[in-house]
């Protein structure tokens, strides 16, 4: 990212305008569901917001999570898969990172999320690291921790995030932190849940949180509605993606990440059935490889490495 003070000012104004416009357009309701291409209600407003375009890639890192988000020269990585997948992530994103990698998010301390981040933190000049402060005495976590310490010497800013935080990553990318509220005994439930609103399109990233957190977010009234792309909680485990959450979030597209033939039985039928009941089009990294959502601020188009959707309305 290039730092120009005036751009910051313009971006802040643009965000305010977008939030206001987004709220008004959302009120119109409508929008299609069950298709991989979400037609917005904006019609000729497409691109009128002057947004440069957003790309969200749910990377295929086997059994784990890694998500790369890009708008112009602003780039964000959420999680890095297991330690061995660090190289995969680096290969996938190296050509897209211009200058600094603006933000790295570690959603929680588990190896399938934090593992690959050591390579990323060592391989790039990283602007900020957002994480939850929950530590682990594991090789995967120690790798992240020591790479973060080295990064801080070079100027990387560290931010411990909590529900209610609104974080600007650069460009038009503003993230709302929906979880955690504090630390519990569950590493999964301590995970960072983020919502990214881009124009009138919403992207919700659930990390590995369970239905306990899903219901807590519901009760707090922090969840977005009519989400264009949901990164499904906990690799489509049966204890995530509860009906209550889905009936509020109403995802048009749901993407889970997991490895082919993983030993956990992901994705579970329980989660898939609940997602189907919301009429969300479902994609999975085990079936489709990397799944990419592209937003112009009005609608989101989905492309995949291979195959058809895991499920869509009418199949």
Which positions touch Zn ion (CB under 5 A)? 112, 208
Nearer to Zn ion, 92 or 208 (CB): 208
Looking only at Cα atoms, what is the longest distance across the chain?
A: 54
Nearer to Zn ion, 81 or 199 (CB): 81
Q: Identify the burial level of 277 via C-beta atoms within 10 angstroms of its C-beta, where 0-12 means exposed, 13-18 middle and 19 or more buried.
A: exposed
Nearer to Zn ion, 85 or 208 (CB): 208
DSSP class of residue 44 equals G
3-state secondary structure string, 64-95?
Answer: CCCEEEEECCEEEEECCCCHHHHHHHHHHHHH
Nearer to Zn ion, 46 or 186 (CB): 186
Q: How far is CA 219 from CA 213, 223, 228, in A?
A: 10, 9, 22
* Nearest distance in Å: CB 113, Zn ion: 5
Q: How far is CA 93 from CA 114, 135, 257, 304, in A?
A: 17, 26, 18, 16
Task: Please list, in sequence order, all residues whose beta carbon lies within 8 angstroms of the beta carbon of residue 173, skipping any fewer than 6 positions away.
Answer: 54, 69, 71, 74, 76, 196, 198
String of DSSP letters for 267-287:
SPHHHHHHHHHTT-EEEEHHH
* Nearest distance in Å: CB 65, Zn ion: 6
- The whole-angstrom separation of Cα 109 and Cα 254 is 24
Nearer to Zn ion, 75 or 208 (CB): 208
Residue whose token pair is 């079936």? 287
Nearer to Zn ion, 84 or 125 (CB): 84
Nearer to Zn ion, 127 or 180 (CB): 180
Instruction: Name the token pair of 112.
Output: 């399938």
Q: How far is CA 18 from CA 27, 49, 184, 297, in A?
A: 14, 7, 35, 9
Could you list the beta-strand ranges (E) of 149-290: 157-160, 166-170, 173-179, 193-198, 201-205, 229-231, 253-256, 281-284
Which helix (H) or strand (E) element contains residue 58?
strand 54-58
Contact at 8 Å (CB) between 189 and 210?
A: yes
* Nearest distance in Å: CB 237, Zn ion: 9
Nearer to Zn ion, 26 or 113 (CB): 113
* Nearest distance in Å: CB 10, Zn ion: 37
Phi, psi of 27 (to 5 degrees): -60, -20
Nearer to Zn ion, 179 or 299 (CB): 179
């Amino acid at each position: 990212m290039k730092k120009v003070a005036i751009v910051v000012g313009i971006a802040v104004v643009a965000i305010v305008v977008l939030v206001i416009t987004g709220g008004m357009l959302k009120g119109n309701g409508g929008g299609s569901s069950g298709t991989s291409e979400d037609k917005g209600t904006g019609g000729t407003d497409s691109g009128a917001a002057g947004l440069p375009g957003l790309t969200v890639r749910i990377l295929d890192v086997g059994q784990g999570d890694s998500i790369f988000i890009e708008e112009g020269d602003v780039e964000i990585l959420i999680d890095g898969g297991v330690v061995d997948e660090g190289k995969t992530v680096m290969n996938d994103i190296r050509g897209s990172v211009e200058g600094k990698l603006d933000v790295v998010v570690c959603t929680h301390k588990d190896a399938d999320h934090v593992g690959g981040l050591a390579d990323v933190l060592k391989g790039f000049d990283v602007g900020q690291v957002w994480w939850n402060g929950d530590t682990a005495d594991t090789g995967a976590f120690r790798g992240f921790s020591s790479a973060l310490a080295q990064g801080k010497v070079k100027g990387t800013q560290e931010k411990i995030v909590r529900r209610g935080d609104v974080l600007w990553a650069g460009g038009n990318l503003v993230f709302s932190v929906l979880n955690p509220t504090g630390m519990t005994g569950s590493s999964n439930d301590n995970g960072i849940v983020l919502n990214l609103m881009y124009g009138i399109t919403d992207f919700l990233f659930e990390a590995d949180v369970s239905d306990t957190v899903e219901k807590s977010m519901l009760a707090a009234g922090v969840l977005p509605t009519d989400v264009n792309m949901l990164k499904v909680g906990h690799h489509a485990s049966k204890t995530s993606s509860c009906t209550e959450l889905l009936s509020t979030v109403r995802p048009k597209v749901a993407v889970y990440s997991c490895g082919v033939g993983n030993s956990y039985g992901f994705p579970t039928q329980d989660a898939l059935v609940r997602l189907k009941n919301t009429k969300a089009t479902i994609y999975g990294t085990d079936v489709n490889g990397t799944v990419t959502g592209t937003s112009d601020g009005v609608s989101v188009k989905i492309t995949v490495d291979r195959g058809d959707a895991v499920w869509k309305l009418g199949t």
